[in-house]
């Protein structure tokens, strides 16, 4: 029998985590091979590798412990990729040379697959003097544009775009420009953005007092704190960004406050990190640990939880020694502090199995109890590791125990740390688990509520036929297996029907025992008033959260899914027929003959022209691009044209909304300058190729016109939900993009903006 609880789980494994040869031949024949590969790799640094390989395998088996995607995909493959998920880069110097050194480091990190965070507060504001060159500074936003363009050209490991977080302090003179930057729909698309909010600022907001905008001890402006707060809130209300990070609270609670200062986070916000800080992530699958689900005696097996946590901590500690790092400074930082981020997924499903309504006082209390149990088990496991392998190099017992976070820890844990030391400076974090939760059988993601009980997705088979799959939440499927068609109880709630303050309550309950932070999205209804929306952020501040991210569907952000009055999952809804874009389970075989066209592109100052051939396949009476060939007599172009040919053709053969290829190519600029062609400025030869592909798509009817998306929108409906609006997934084409844990994520294929 397959270990996978649902077809989508196996498809996610095959697409994202299964180790394969370059030609597609699988090294991992089964998911057991994947678990074995990870277990063996992480056990190699142990004195008794065979023993620990078996222990690690047992933890991975049946998806009980879920290492983050980079570990699952990369461990034991000998690929030159990092197993760390997230990095905060070095402090950006306020100098041209230093800024571009940081840009180079960012490119190297994203090339190996790391998501990065930067604090741009260190760059002088727009209009400030630049000494020695008689010029005015262009400001941090102009350099963020450079980072954004660089990120578009770097493909992260695992065929994911690099993800970036930009932060700016609430007292920086350019903070108003930062707040409104994303009101321009074409700007800073590769960034998540958050404002660093200080305690002093929140006090000024509550007191309706003045607020100084300062750089280098010079006051540039004095504004009303509440006006600035309202500006942040309005931008977030309208555009879902910027997020809010309570930076003083983070630094006060940090176990390492005695030796580091934090000013930025990773892209999804769950890891506040110092300069060159890195963290690896993993999650305990609570949904797999509940005994007697939906019965009166249902309970989470806390003994099994403690054992699993201890094994997971050991595995994650070994990753520090096994992983490669893009930069030596990152390796040194990681090994000096050995921080890890162990979290949970399947929380909402586990609560449902106990009969608890997510967002209720009882559910919040149970969440706090479970997270405290995980924190205790994590710290005690790390103490045992310190006995065996030594404490982290920068450990200072009295300074460590005096930190804000450690002062609330139980006395027996504090005494154990004082006596033995601790192996890992920080241990817990709630990370985004969108893709790995699908891989684990569509368990609820992180500490989020269940997003949708069930929905249908279409999969295109190799012969061009379509099949429909129902994707069901793990707990809902367990209910069906146990009780058949019996109606779901009232305590089954989802992300769309919950009040925003119920989300905040759950985040605050979990945060109390999480030493890093939490990736969480607070879903707000489209018609929430602005004052009520602001109350969500103030409640997050008042209840001890370290940050806040909301999502309010509207005409700008796109309505992800809207809930109908009938939210029961046992009433199937037919999927609409028509010209929908579908995802293919396997690439289509090439027919003997294809229709196509060849186009000539003569780039100025180039001796030889490029010849671009685009061939199409006809499916269900519709013509769509299938492959591309790019040829030139200029041998300097040979390597990259071959690479581009293979990559674009591979994307085309997978199906879905492939028009994004045009968008990405047209966005590439050449730092040496572009060229004028047929009355238009083309920023690079790659952009010219993108323009040719776009014109071909228009001519064949695949897209409606220049700069436009699909001629016929993909359609599908969610069980119990109205037809969604908004953008299709750029990977699989389905209308299942949702804001989950601070990141736009596809529920059908796991594609995530944040990598």
Distance, in Å, from the CA atom of 353 to the CA atom of 356, rounded to the nearest integer, reads: 8
- The continuous run of DSSP H or E covering 12 comes out as helix 7-12
Residue 330, exposed/middle/buried by CB under 10 A (0-12, 13-18, 19+)? buried
- Terminal CA-CA length for the chain: 31
| Residues 153-156: contacts with CB under 8 Å, at least 24 apart | 153/668, 154/107, 154/110, 154/111, 156/110, 156/111, 156/112, 156/113, 156/114, 156/115, 156/755
On whether the CB atoms of residues 348 and 491 are closer than 8 A, the answer is no
On whether the CB atoms of residues 137 and 124 are closer than 8 A, the answer is yes
Longest dimension (CA), the chain: 78
Strand partners, 66: 283
Question: Where do we find the tokens 């504001």?
Answer: 125
**DSSP code at position 121:** G
Residue 189, exposed/middle/buried by CB under 10 A (0-12, 13-18, 19+)? middle
Check if 729 is active-site.
Answer: no
Distance, in Å, from the CA atom of 504 to the CA atom of 508, rounded to the nearest integer, reads: 6
Q: Between the CA atoms of 671, 690, 748 and 440, what dihedral angle is there, to the nearest 10 degrees? A: -50
* Catalytic site residue from 53, 260, 270, 333: 270
Query: Is 668 strand, coil or helix?
Result: coil
H helix intervals, 294-327: 302-322
For residue 483, how far is the Cα from the chain centroid?
Answer: 35
Residue 159, exposed/middle/buried by CB under 10 A (0-12, 13-18, 19+)? middle
Extract the tokens encoding 59.
């933890």
Distance, in Å, from the CA atom of 164 to the CA atom of 151, rounded to the nearest integer, reads: 8
Q: Between the CA atoms of 580, 630, 690 and 593, what dihedral angle is there, to the nearest 10 degrees? A: -20
On whether the CB atoms of residues 364 and 543 are closer than 8 A, the answer is no
H helix intervals, 127-269: 140-153, 175-180, 199-207, 225-239, 247-253
On whether the CB atoms of residues 317 and 385 are closer than 8 A, the answer is yes
What Rg value do the Cα atoms of the chain yield, rounded?
26
428 torsion bin: left (phi>0), alpha (psi -120 to 50), beta (else):
beta
Strand partners, 279: 86
Distance, in Å, from the CA atom of 27 to the CA atom of 398, rounded to the nearest integer, reads: 49
Check if 268 is active-site.
Answer: yes
Distance, in Å, from the CA atom of 482 to the CA atom of 467, rounded to the nearest integer, reads: 27
H helix intervals, 441-489: 474-483
Peptide bond into 242 cis (omega under 30): yes
159 Cβ partners below 8 Å, 6+ apart? none
Nearest partner of 141 among 177, 191, 186, judged by Cα: 177
Distance, in Å, from the CA atom of 734 to the CA atom of 223, rounded to the nearest integer, reads: 45
Query: Is 509 strand, coil or helix?
Result: helix
Extract the tokens encoding 572.
């199937």
Nearest partner of 364 among 341, 345, 348, 344, judged by Cα: 348
Distance, in Å, from the CA atom of 356 to the CA atom of 225, rounded to the nearest integer, reads: 40
Extract the tokens encoding 77.
């493959």
* Catalytic site residue from 192, 251, 254, 266: 266
* Catalytic site residue from 151, 170, 268, 743: 268
On whether the CB atoms of residues 233 and 537 are closer than 8 A, the answer is yes
List active site positions: 266, 268, 270
């Amino acid at each position: 029998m397959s270990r996978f609880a649902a077809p989508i789980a196996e498809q996610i494994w095959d697409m994202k985590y299964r180790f394969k040869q370059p030609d597609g031949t699988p090294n991992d024949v089964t998911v057991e091979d994947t678990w074995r590969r990870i277990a063996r790799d992480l056990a190699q640094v142990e004195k008794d590798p065979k023993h620990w390989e078996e222990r690690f395998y047992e933890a991975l088996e049946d998806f009980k412990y879920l290492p983050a995607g980079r570990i699952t995909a990369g461990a034991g493959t000998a690929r030159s990729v990092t197993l760390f998920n997230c990095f905060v880069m070095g402090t950006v110097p306020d100098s041209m040379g230093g800024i571009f050194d940081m840009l180079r480091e960012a490119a190297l990190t994203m090339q190996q697959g790391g998501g990065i965070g930067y604090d741009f507060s260190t760059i002088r504001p727009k209009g400030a003097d630049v000494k020695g060159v008689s010029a005015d500074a262009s400001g941090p936003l102009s350099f963020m544009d450079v980072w954004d363009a660089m990120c578009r050209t770097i493909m992260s490991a695992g065929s994911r775009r690099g993800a970036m977080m930009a932060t700016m302090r609430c007292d920086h003179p350019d903070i108003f420009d930062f707040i409104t930057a994303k009101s321009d729909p074409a700007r800073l698309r590769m960034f998540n953005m958050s404002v660093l909010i200080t305690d002093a600022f929140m006090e000024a907001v509550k007191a309706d007092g003045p607020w100084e905008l300062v750089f280098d001890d010079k006051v540039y402006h004095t504004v009303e704190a509440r006006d600035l707060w309202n500006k942040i809130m309005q931008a977030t209300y309208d555009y879902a960004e910027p997020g809010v990070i309570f930076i003083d609270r983070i630094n006060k609670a940090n176990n390492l406050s005695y030796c580091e200062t934090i000013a930025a986070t990773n892209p999804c916000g769950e890891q506040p990190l110092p300069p060159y800080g890195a963290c690896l992530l993993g999650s305990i699958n609570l949904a797999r640990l509940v005994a007697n689900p939906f019965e009166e005696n249902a309970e989470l097996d806390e003994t099994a939880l403690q054992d699993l946590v201890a094994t997971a901590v050991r595995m994650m500690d070994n990753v520090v020694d096994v992983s490669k790092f893009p930069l030596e400074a990152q390796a040194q930082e990681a090994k000096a502090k050995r921080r890890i981020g162990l979290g949970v997924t399947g929380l909402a499903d586990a609560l449902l199995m106990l009969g608890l309504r997510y967002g209720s006082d009882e559910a919040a209390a149970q969440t706090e109890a479970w997270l405290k149990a995980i924190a205790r088990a994590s710290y005690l496991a790390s103490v045992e590791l310190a006995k065996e392998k030594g404490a982290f190099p920068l450990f200072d017992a009295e300074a460590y125990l005096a930190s804000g976070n450690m002062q609330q820890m139980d006395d027996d844990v504090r005494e154990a740390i004082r006596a033995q030391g601790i192996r890992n400076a920080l241990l817990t974090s709630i990370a985004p688990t969108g893709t790995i939760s699908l891989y684990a059988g569509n368990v609820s993601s992180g500490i989020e509520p269940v997003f949708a009980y069930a929905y249908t997705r279409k999969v295109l088979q190799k012969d061009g036929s379509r099949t429909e799959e129902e994707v069901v939440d793990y707990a809902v499927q367990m209910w069906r297996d146990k009780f058949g068609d019996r109606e779901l109880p009232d305590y089954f709630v989802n992300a769309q029907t919950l009040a925003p303050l119920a989300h905040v309550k759950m985040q605050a309950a979990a945060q109390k025992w999480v030493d890093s932070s939490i990736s969480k999205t607070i879903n707000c209804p489209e018609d929430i008033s602005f004052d009520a929306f602001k109350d969500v952020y103030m409640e997050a501040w008042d209840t001890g959260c370290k940050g806040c991210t909301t999502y309010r569907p509207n005409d700008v952000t796109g309505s992800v899914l809207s809930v109908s009055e009938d939210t029961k999952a046992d009433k199937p809804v037919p999927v609409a027929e028509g010209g929908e874009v579908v995802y293919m389970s396997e690439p289509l075989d090439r027919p003997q003959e294809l229709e196509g066209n060849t186009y000539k592109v003569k780039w100025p100052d180039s001796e030889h022209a490029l010849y671009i051939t685009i061939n199409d396949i006809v499916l269900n009476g519709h013509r769509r691009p299938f492959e591309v060939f790019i040829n030139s007599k200029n041998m300097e172009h040979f390597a990259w044209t071959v690479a581009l040919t293979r990559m674009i053709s591979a994307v085309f053969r997978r199906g879905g909304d492939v028009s994004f290829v045009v968008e990405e190519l047209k966005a590439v600029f050449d730092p040496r300058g572009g060229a004028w062609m047929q009355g238009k400025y083309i920023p690079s030869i790659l952009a010219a190729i993108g323009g040719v592909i776009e014109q071909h798509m228009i001519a064949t009817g695949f897209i409606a016109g220049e700069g436009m998306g699909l001629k016929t929108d993909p359609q599908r409906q969610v069980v119990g939900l109205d037809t969604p609006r908004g953008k299709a997934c750029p990977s699989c084409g389905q209308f299942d993009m949702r804001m989950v844990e601070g990141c736009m994520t596809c529920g059908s294929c796991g594609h995530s903006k944040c990598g």
